[in-house]
Structure 1
Amino acid sequence: MKKLTRSRTNRWIAGVCGGVGEYLDIDPNIIRAVYIIFTVLTRFAAGLIIYILLWIIIPDGAEESPAEAPPADA
């Protein structure tokens, strides 16, 4: 089951858009573009508040677990 987390690899600021893009299987750049348009159209207040709330609410992406990591001697 997929879990919504902030991206640790595809981030510009906090990984919110990257995490949403990975969760929805959409290019994170599309999510970023939609977010920027939304933020500009709402005169920045709503977009910034939503981003900060998501930054706080969505957990940071977990590090790669040892079971998924490639062998150290490879």
Structure 2
Amino acid sequence: MSTLVRPRKGRIIAGVCAALAHRFGWPVLLMRLLAIVLMVFAGLPLWVYIVLWILIPKEK
């Protein structure tokens, strides 16, 4: 597992899904699909994504 940072390349909106995927060694597409499914079906609010956007530092 690597450190939790939002990458400069390969991100779509803020890089939160890409950061989590790299951290846990998962494919980025799988993490993005999981985030969408959780937001739609499990009620994961968008503000959780925004909070992670703020808390996860950018790659230097």
TM-score relative to the length of structure 2: 0.88
Residue 36 of structure 1 is matched in structure 2 by 36
Report percent identity of matched pairs: 36
**Counterpart amino acid of residue 51 in structure 2:** L
Larger radius of gyration: 1
Deviation at 1:6, TM superposition (A): 0.8
Determine if contact 2:2/2:22 at 8 Å carries over to the other structure. Answer: no
Residue 2 of structure 2 is matched in structure 1 by 2
Unaligned runs of 5+ in 1: 63-74
1:8-47 deviation per Cα after TM superposition (whole angstroms, max 9, x unaligned):
11100000101111111111110000000000011xxx33
TM-score relative to the length of structure 1: 0.73
**Counterpart amino acid of residue 51 in structure 1:** Y
Where has structure 1 moved over 6 Å in runs of 4 or more? none
Higher share in helix? 2
